[in-house]
Amino acid sequence: MTKNQNKAGWHLQNSYAELPALFYSKMKLHPVSSPKLVKFNESLAKTLGLNAQALKEEGQIDILAGSQAPQHAEPLAQAYAGHQFGHFTMLGDGRALLIGEQITPDGDRFDVQLKGSGRTPYSRGGDGRAALGPMLREYMISEAMHALNIPTTRSLAVVTTGEPVFRETELEGAILTRIAASHLRVGTFQFAAQWGTIEELRTLADYAIERHYPEVASHESPYLSFLQEVMKRQASLIAKWQLVGFIHGVMNTDNMTISGETIDYGPCAFMDTYDPDTVFSSIDVNGRYAYGNQPYIGGWNLARLAESLIPLLDENEEKGLGIAQDTMSDYFEIFQGYWLSGMRSKLGLLDQEEGDSLLVDSLLDLMRKNEADFTNTFRALTIEKFEGMPLFETDQFKHWHEKWQERLTRQSRTQDEVFQLMKKHNPAIIPRNHRVEAALEAAVEQADYSVMENLLAALSNPYAYTKEQDDYCTLPPSTDGPYRTFCGT
């Protein structure tokens, strides 16, 4: 270990590399010609126990660029499978390396992954590299999600490589350092069930339990408890997405984590006009992953996890299948509980009444009919300023507003308590698509990162309701067609 590396605070372990060799391929690094640090997350570095200033030095930039490994790194590419738009296939880290797991000063463990670091055995003909724009996009959206209090992978740094990548055109190459509780996916378990032995599947499940759900290890049926806990976390996560209008865009089983974190920010975007049929991804031509479908797809993905675990749920396959089906039958009720609880908070309801679901559904129906902006509608309810949207001028909304006010009077809470609850759950600002595109254009086309920095600063506290955020609440100008996103590979 060099003095510079020691000063940076790397404290890596490699527990994933202790799994059977089936689950990964050990890799050599693919050095790049001229790495340059263009974005660095100082607050995240501090959380990880890393020295931000040292990480910005030349030798450390080589580490973030995948040209040099820190002490105790064991670079590897993870193997997994997945249902991509419903079709099962063998996958794996085709352009990423797990260099190790950073142990924080608090004793927490986080994967450190380099995304865009070069070819692996799972690249499937690709170059294993990434372009600057998509890596900056993931940085911005993942940090916005973190500020919205939604579980997510995070971004430590973006480094340009000094080398071009070729897609439809020549683009500037870049590498993102992604931080995750782990990169274990539903697809990891599908891979084990399809190509591994039962003992290898059990080893993977035991590893996931030890890493994410140690409390279930002593349960009478630990693998059933594991499935139930993953189901709860995923149901909670997707409910949080729905509550802020986030559309993931590519909810394949390889993009659904066991930890319950949001992962993969390729074609994702936030909804402006409320419409459950909203799709942004250019490749989702049938709307499989539309906003309104996300809860159902979450259940479908979890059913694939349950199928993979059948041999561990019971030695008798038929009994194991029955256990898996019984468990999955609870999913949507669990999701609805999280979602309705969140909606109550968005409307300032601190207790429960039987008619709350109808009150919420009535508002959403009015929002859809009047093409109301999702975020700004709830922002207006929070600050009680009803202007600028046709919705607020309708008799139907005024009638709904009276019912809502009557409902608020039936709870023994002060007006300030209601306001604070709503403010905490209704962001004043989201990463509007046109703002994200403007930031990316300035950074990629002009090497001007000021637009991105200003946007990130505003997004860092989305519940602040400051005057400085007002400009970021404005809607995008009218366009000839719908906004489209791309996977970025």
Return the active site residues.
Answer: 254
**Contact of 410 with 353, CB cutoff 8 Å:** yes
Question: CB 197: neighbour CB atoms within 10 A?
Answer: 12
Question: CB 474: neighbour CB atoms within 10 A?
Answer: 12
Look up residue 108 and give its DSSP letter.
-
Task: Map residue 333 onto helix, strand or coil.
Answer: helix
Q: Which is nearest to 100 in space by CA: 165, 50, 32, 174?
A: 50
Q: Which residues have a Cβ under 8 Å from the Cβ of 474 and sit 6 or more positions away?
A: none
Q: Alpha carbon of 178 to those of 118, 135, 252, 264: distances in Å?
A: 15, 10, 19, 10
Total number of residues shown for the chain:
489
**Contact of 261 with 181, CB cutoff 8 Å:** yes
Q: Alpha carbon of 373 to those of 85, 212, 219, 259, 484: distances in Å?
A: 29, 37, 46, 31, 18
Residue identified by tokens 């791309």 is: 486
CA gap 487, 302 in Å, rounded: 23
Question: CB 343: neighbour CB atoms within 10 A?
Answer: 22
Q: Which residues have a Cβ under 8 Å from the Cβ of 300 and sit 6 or more positions away?
A: none
**Which helix or strand (DSSP H or E) is residue 233 part of?**
helix 222-244
**Contact of 189 with 201, CB cutoff 8 Å:** yes
Task: For strands 87-90 and 76-78, give the pairing.
Answer: unpaired
Task: Map residue 417 onto helix, strand or coil.
Answer: helix
Q: Alpha carbon of 94 to those of 90, 118, 136, 138: distances in Å?
A: 11, 8, 19, 17
Question: Treating both helix axes as pointing N-terminal to C-terminal, what angle do 356-369 and 374-383 enclose, rounded to 10 degrees?
Answer: 120
Q: Which residues have a Cβ under 8 Å from the Cβ of 336 and sit 6 or more positions away?
A: none
